[in-house]
Structure 1
Amino acid sequence: MTSKITSGGRKKKVLALASLLMSALVPMAAHAIDVDAGDFVPAPEGTTTGLLYLQHAERDRLYAQGRQSVSDPRLVSDVGIARLVHYMRIGGLTVAPQVLVPFGRLDAGHDTSALGKTSGVGDVILATPVWLVNDAPSRTYLAIAPYLYLPTGSYDRNRSLNLGENRWKFDLQVGFVKGLTDKWSVDLTGDVMFHGKNDDYGAAGATLQQKPLYQGQAYLRYQFTPTFNAFVGVSQNWGGEDRVDGVDSNDEARQRKVSVGGSYFIRPTTQLLVSLGRDLKVDNGFKENARINVRLLQVF
């Protein structure tokens, strides 16, 4: 009798966690598009760049409606993105068609160890930023960047953790960069993400829908030399409430995070960017207590 009660209790705990973490189990894919400082400064026409992003993040707090919901949770992620970009001109405008392939590993532990772990490839992303303003002399840039997520990633409805989402997504991002002085510049980015349905969600194969998710980002950047800069940034997202089989989950995202870092051209055609960050506030889902991002960029 004791073993049956224990087994049932564990099962209920897993189901409760799965419901609670509906919007928090895919930390790479569930957010809007994060940018790095200087992303909306275009390279010259004809340039091709290859980028490799690597991120390690640790989470030790879990919130629901602004309150900590599990005493000792843990979720560690090691994720990356391989990205290929080509800059060209079409109709007098600079455009940069690109493809992004996410991959990585998620590992839950402590009081959330029942969620398990997973690894694999995320959903492929296609994007084509278009610069409406590309004024290098005044260091003023304005671009619109549409991103299309394809449901190609690793997904299994019987797993609590997945890198793929089994749904289409579309993100529309606007980026503005302005040089304030010879050394200082500001980067401002805003975007909205729209989600298709996942009609194979959870063990019961429910239908998952999600309201639009919004994000605003800002960086202040200082250029020490032509090859070295440092920056500080802040980001806020909101919206994105989930609905499962028509029932609202009351899990609207409200996340504020900060980062600091810098980039350096270690060779004329190779740049290394490193940033450190953490969440300042989370209303629903896991809260990151530490995050490190590394980006390697190669110009061809």
Structure 2
Amino acid sequence: MSSVSNYKQKSLLGSRKGNFSVASVGLTTMLLTSGNAVAIDVDAGDYTALPAGTNLGMVYYQYATADSLYSDGDKAPINAGLDSQVGILRGVHFTEIGGYTVDPQFLLPFGKVEGKDDTSSLGDTSGIGDLILAATVWLVNEPESNTYFGITPFLYVPVGSYDRNDTLNLGENRWKHTLQAGYITGLTSNISLDLVGDVTFFGKNDELGASKATLEQDPLYQLQGFLRYNVTPQWDLRTGISHTFGGETQINDINQDNDLATTKMTIGTAWFANPGLQLIANYGSDLSVENGFKEQHRLNFRILKAF
């Protein structure tokens, strides 16, 4: 998983499509740029169950640039920009409970987000994001046929950096719960298909902005699919597509009419340098955005060490 995404609220951007201003962008960014307020991205192969007793240590790094801003599918007539550099520390332990493989884990995001060009007035922020606790339970675990199915509950603990007076924040000042399901199957001896879906439920942020407004949000959904081709047993090529939708927000019980509908793609590769060390590199870009910044380029790297 990776990414910090930033959204804008249509109602404060003006009642007419395309009615944008730098000042309104600053106000609206505050609503949902606090942290990674999106569904959970995964890497292809994440739903592979490993033997009980295996431990994983992972470090993620993402660099992303956004160069345009959308409301109701219309591009803002400004030179919008937003750069982010985000890392994640992740620890995973595989065990067996009641005959099922389970992997308790934690994820701790950290990084920096900065407004650019006509949206440089957004400023910047750095620090840690909200702690994420999770555990996948595998209901299907058939390594001989490369078939796996698991369910993962995630809990976001609001300990990240947050200041209600700042437009950009890495913490969200609210609890979040995500339920995700992932399925892997081998199509051929060299080709694998990954399918993942999740829904995220949001608690309230009752300290939004200087006026301490109350932010609420409808459930947010994400569907992801990947194809992997094993060139060798140690090296694969991969491509994926993701679609995120829903997640309209309310401020002091007023609907913001800002449902998300974002489609993005990734291509990449993974390589086992040795049996206990895996390196992943992915490139991605948003294909379409209904509301929010559109990422032009996204580079993701992951180092995994098994012990």
TM bucket (normalised to shorter chain) is over 0.9
Range 191-200 or range 41-50, more displaced: 41-50
Distance 1:39 1:214 in 2: 19
The equivalent of 2:299 in structure 1 is 292
* 1:82 paired residue among 85, 89, 94: 89
Distance 1:227 1:16 in 2: 50
The equivalent of 1:205 in structure 2 is 212
Distance 1:23 1:60 in 2: 20
Residues 22 and 66 (structure 1), Cα distance of their counterparts in 2 relative to 1, 3 Å cut = farther
Distance 2:85 2:212 in 1: 28
Distance 1:23 1:271 in 2: 37
The equivalent of 1:5 in structure 2 is none
Deviation >4 Å, runs of 4+: 12-15
The alignment of Structure 1 onto Structure 2 pairs a total of residues equal to 288
Question: Greater CA radius of gyration, 1 or 2?
Answer: 1
Range 289-298 or range 67-76, more displaced: 67-76
Q: Give the TM-score normalised by structure 2.
A: 0.91
Q: Deviations over 1:186-240 (max 9, x none)?
A: 0000000000000000111000000000000000111111111111100001000
The equivalent of 1:4 in structure 2 is none
Identity of aligned residues (%): 49
Distance 1:158 1:90 in 2: 45
SS at match of 1:129: strand
The equivalent of 1:48 in structure 2 is 55
1:25 shift after superposition: 2.3
Contact in 1 for aligned 2:235/2:270 (Cα 8 Å)? yes
Distance 1:23 1:91 in 2: 43
Distance 1:95 1:158 in 2: 41
Q: Give the TM-score normalised by structure 1.
A: 0.94
The equivalent of 2:69 in structure 1 is 62
User: Structure 1: which 5+ residue stretches go unaligned?
Assistant: 1-11
1:24 shift after superposition: 5.3
1:136 shift after superposition: 0.9
Contact in 2 for aligned 1:57/1:77 (Cα 8 Å)? yes
The equivalent of 2:245 in structure 1 is 238
Distance 1:18 1:211 in 2: 23
* 1:73 paired residue among 69, 74, 80: 80
Contact in 1 for aligned 2:26/2:119 (Cα 8 Å)? no
1:141-290 paired onto structure 2 within 5 Å: 141-290=148-297
1:125-140 paired onto structure 2 within 5 Å: 125-140=132-147
Letter in 2 for 1:81: I
Distance 1:162 1:211 in 2: 20
Kindly indicate whether residue 43 of structure 2 is the aligned counterpart of residue 16 of structure 1.
no
Contact in 1 for aligned 2:30/2:208 (Cα 8 Å)? no
Distance 2:193 2:199 in 1: 21
Range 262-271 or range 46-55, more displaced: 262-271
Distance 1:170 1:18 in 2: 28
Contact in 1 for aligned 2:85/2:112 (Cα 8 Å)? yes
1:288 shift after superposition: 0.3
Distance 1:97 1:123 in 2: 17
1:22 shift after superposition: 4.9
SS at match of 1:16: helix
Contact in 1 for aligned 2:31/2:208 (Cα 8 Å)? no
Contact in 1 for aligned 2:64/2:83 (Cα 8 Å)? yes
Distance 2:26 2:281 in 1: 33
SS at match of 1:21: helix
Contact in 2 for aligned 1:53/1:81 (Cα 8 Å)? yes
Contact in 2 for aligned 1:62/1:69 (Cα 8 Å)? yes
1:14 shift after superposition: 5.8
Distance 2:26 2:249 in 1: 13
Q: Deviations over 1:244-289 (max 9, x none)?
A: 0011111111000000001001122111000000000001000000
Residues 204 and 23 (structure 1), Cα distance of their counterparts in 2 relative to 1, 3 Å cut = closer
SS at match of 1:114: helix
